[in-house]
Amino acid sequence: MILTEILQPTCVKAPLEGTNKDAVITELIDLLDASGALLDRDAVLEAVLTREAIRSTGIGSGIAIPHGKCAGVKELVMAMGIAGTPIEYDSIDNKPVKIICLLISPADQTGPHIQALGRISRLMLDEDFKAKLEKATDPETVYDLISTKEHE
């Protein structure tokens, strides 16, 4: 799984404007919607917020991977944002997040969804890479960092 195959440059935002979990999730979904990646924005938003209500997707170490499955997309899509100021996210380590990677997939496509979650998690294990992402102040830098890292 190569993330830049599902993450378009137009679906990256740095810095995010939102200051809380629901606001940044909505902001990333709106990026996907503006890029034409969604069939039904409201269904996608509901799926992600419903998933988030079950259990926070703040995985610790300043990272959140909100995700959902629904009929609001025809294929796996991704958006990514870097918070200018850390956001309280109910993370498993009780620390705020700066890196938010949003994934949405059709309900019947579990494989690619799981692969993308795993790929994001593995990339974030590289502390140097993660630190560079956290310091990124524009979408181009974020996308270039991911693209370069994936082609190492």
The proportion of the chain whose per-residue pLDDT surpasses 90, expressed as a percent, equals: 88
State the pLDDT confidence band at 129, using cuts at 50, 70 and 90: very high
Per-residue pLDDT tens over the stretch 63-108: 999 999 999 999 999 999 999 999 999 999 999 999 999 999 998 8
Q: What is the reported pLDDT for 70? A: 94
State the pLDDT confidence band at 152, using cuts at 50, 70 and 90: confident
pLDDT at 113 over 90: no
C-alpha dist (Å) from residue 71 to 80, 85, 116: 21, 33, 18
pLDDT at 117 over 90: no
* Fold annotation for 3-150: Mannitol-specific EII; Chain A (3.40.930)
Fill in the DSSP letter of residue 11.
Answer: E
Active-site residues, by number, are 67
First-residue to last-residue Cα distance in the chain: 14
Helix, strand or coil, per DSSP, at residue 138: coil
Per-residue pLDDT tens over the stretch 37-59: 999 999 999 999 999 999 999 99
